Amino acid sequence: MTDVRVGHTAGLTGDELREVRALLDEAFEGDFGEEDFEHALGGMHVLVRDADGLLVAHGSVVQRRVVHRGRALRTGYVEAVAVRAGSRRRGLGGQVVAELERVVARAYVLGALSASEAGAGLYLARGWSVWPGRIGALSPHGPVPLPEEEGSTYVWAPPGGIRLDPAGRLDFDWRDGDVL
């Protein structure tokens, strides 16, 4: 039995944010920095608790702008999807992503994320696709290519949503730390 809560960062308590941070530190084995956590804030969160009230899964979606073929697209960028080690392979990651997709479908024209090899299967199974084209960012010094992000950037268009031209580049808005 699980309890699923969806809420904005502004609606989370300090204790909940500390729980999220601790879960991310554990799930990513200490490889989730302060800038990574900052990227996960300011949008909608999905928190999943087990029957004992322990936070076992989390994910968030934040707004970003992605320029494609001269158009700035309101994009729901998925961040900080994690499941506690002892609770994996029970469908909780899929439950989190399903809720995040619901948010994306209602508020954005496009969903995007950067996935690790370990997480890629979850997104592929849910209909996300690897962006086949080039990836870039709109840096303070102008557009820059991000070839290292090619092959790990996934997109998802809500039903009836935008169609992207795979020959075009996706240029993401700039942010500190890892741009994607």
- Among 168, 170, 176, smallest CA distance to 152 is for 170
Instruction: Check whether 1 has a pLDDT greater than 80.
Output: no
The pLDDT value given to residue 2 = 81
Domain residue spans of the chain: 3-173
Instruction: Determine phi and psi for 43, rounding to 5 degrees.
Output: -135, -150
The pLDDT value given to residue 81 = 98
Instruction: Check whether 155 has a pLDDT greater than 90.
Output: yes
Q: Was domain 3-173 assigned CATH 3.40.50.450?
A: no
The pLDDT value given to residue 37 = 97
Summarize pLDDT for 50-109 with one digit per residue, the tens.
999 999 999 999 999 999 999 999 999 999 999 999 999 999 999 999 999 999 999 999
The pLDDT value given to residue 92 = 97
Instruction: Check whether 179 has a pLDDT greater than 90.
Output: no
Mean pLDDT to the nearest integer, 11-36: 96
The pLDDT value given to residue 77 = 98
The pLDDT value given to residue 167 = 94
